[in-house]
Amino acid sequence: MSNDALLNSVIEKAQKWLDPKYDEQTRAEVQAMLDAEDKTPLIEAFYKDLEFGTGGLRGIMGAGSNRMNIYTVGAATQGLANYLKDAFADLPQISVCVGHDVRNNSRKFAELAADIFSANGIKVYLFDACRPTPEISYGIRHLGCQSGVVVTASHNPKEYNGYKAYWSDGAQMIAPHDVKTIEYVNAITSVDQIKFTPNKDLIEIIGAKVDNDFLTDIKKLSLSPEAIARHKDMKIVYTPIHGTGSMLIYDSLARWGFNNVIHVPEQDVQSGDFPTVVSPNPENAEAMSMAIAKARETGAEVVVASDPDADRIGLVVRDKKGNYQLVNGNQIVMIFLYYLITRNVELGLLNGTEYCVKTIVTTEAIKRIADANNIKCYDCFTGFKWIADVIRNNEQTARYLGGGEESYGFLAEDFVRDKDAVSAISLMCEIAAWAADRGQNLYEMLIDIYAKYGFSRERGVSVVRPGKTGAEEIEAMMKNFRSNPPRQLGGSEVTAVKDYLDLNCTNLKTGQVEKLDFPTTSNVLQFFTEKGDKVSIRPSGTEPKIKFYIEVREEMKDPAAYEQTVAEAEAHIDRILADLGVK
């Protein structure tokens, strides 16, 4: 389509939003874009419809078909309501659980969703205020709902919001329900199809009781209460980074027995503007800087953080020189699973059916730990809905120990089916107390894990390409890597390629091709080298970026050589990125 044709198409589409069936504020915003000399904002707002994908909606807030607003959220909710009424036609009363984070318009969108569900005869349990995403997953199961919605854009910049849809097991939907929901949502082609007038009798406000039940169940995850009792005064800095974590995590830490939790007062303020950070993402050092400063000021042992919807955990530990080091997502998952496996062995709790789960882009060190302890380790696609799928397939026959992904998400319990920073932060602080019992801090414990199971180092790099042209560029990059795979990376020959788009694993030395055992396909490429390195490449499903995940192996001859080994591994990663043409 030519530029002129695209602009004419966009203008025609936008003019339909000037109809009186759209509210006055929306019409004014659209008219301003139509009148502006620079038509870029208009094109970005209307060149496509905001896609309801397998994870729901996520986009920039504003007027337009490609934006998060009451009409795109309304269409998503109406489509989901229609599907629920067909899927559960035999139930006398369908029910859903609805929650939201702290973002601008989140409460508005959550209340809108509740109104539309109720207008369709569906019972709604609506949280009285913002809550962590994992609590909505918990609420769906706890209240016996058939579905649920969380209004959140996780750790995206402040301009974004999102809409995550869940099924009756508390997990984000997979086939067939994701595909069917998308079909029903896409069938909503007019505002007139959306039932906006609520039935208030079907909306029940919930809050404190579910909070208490959730935190009570989380407390049952504790494996070392005696260690906490001995180190209850351990200085712990926690920051919610302006998000929902402040609703429950302080309370959870107190219930677990920690009584010296230090606040970062400026970041306790709940705000969708995230005023103290550039991006509210705990994997970024910048977002953790105020908490680290507070740790230096107070001499804290551990720094923990949660993102705006409190499903991701950030972690900072103090090294031997007293410096505070950011722990990456792979290391966080590794620490959790090392502890859970080791502690279960110590307590004699293993019955032979235990398993753990990691995503395909997460460190292979986890599999080494699991294999050494005769624990089955499942690989799955990126996204906690796939970890939840493994749990669902095993819940009658095997015992879940934990699962996580490199993007700072971990789930220690099976009564929630999404990543959970409430339980993760509580458990990580217990691990710090357990390590202290052994005369270590978390930094020293991490080095010991590497010494025992082999050293690896990971780095994630995201290349951002926003807008229509960006999406096309990302698509072209993936095609190029498929048609022209690298022959060597970081000085080591590439020996195998896994392409999850056709589920083929190709041995480049023998030419042998094996099928990968996965429930569906995914746009992910992986390259493996003779040295034992792994490179994964995939477009993000929620953000305008392409992601590169690099994992390298190095020999660490002695724990005292840890920092030197890290430096060597980082240089190795730099060489691989240069070979990939990534800056």
Cα distance between residue 505 and residue 494, in whole Å:
13
Which DSSP category does 162 fall into? E
- Would you say 381 and 503 are in contact if contact means Cβ atoms under 8 Å apart? no
405 membership: H or E segment, kind and range: strand 399-405
Options 137, 154, 168, 423, the catalytic residue: 154
Backbone angles phi, psi at 408, to 5 degrees: 70, 30
- Would you say 454 and 531 are in contact if contact means Cβ atoms under 8 Å apart? no
73 membership: H or E segment, kind and range: helix 70-87
Q: With H, G, I as helix, E, B as strand and everything else as coil, classify residue 529.
A: strand
313 burial level (CB within 10 Å; 0-12, 13-18, 19+)? buried
553 membership: H or E segment, kind and range: strand 545-554
* C-alpha triplet 355, 392, 88: angle, nearest 5°: 175
* C-alpha triplet 234, 235, 236: angle, nearest 5°: 110
State how beta strands 203-206 and 123-127 pair.
parallel
Pick the closest to residue 79 from 173, 186, 191, 176 (CA basis).
Answer: 186
Cα distance between residue 561 and residue 229, in whole Å:
34
| Residue 19: C-alpha distances to residues 10, 22, 24, 48 (Å) | 16, 6, 10, 19
Instruction: Let me know if 154 is a catalytic residue.
Output: yes
Backbone angles phi, psi at 543, to 5 degrees: -135, 155
Q: Which residues contact 551 (CB under 8 A, 6 or more apart)?
A: 330, 363, 364, 456, 457, 458, 533, 534, 535
- Would you say 323 and 257 are in contact if contact means Cβ atoms under 8 Å apart? no
Cα distance between residue 485 and residue 483, in whole Å:
6
Cα distance between residue 225 and residue 430, in whole Å:
8
Catalytic site positions: 154
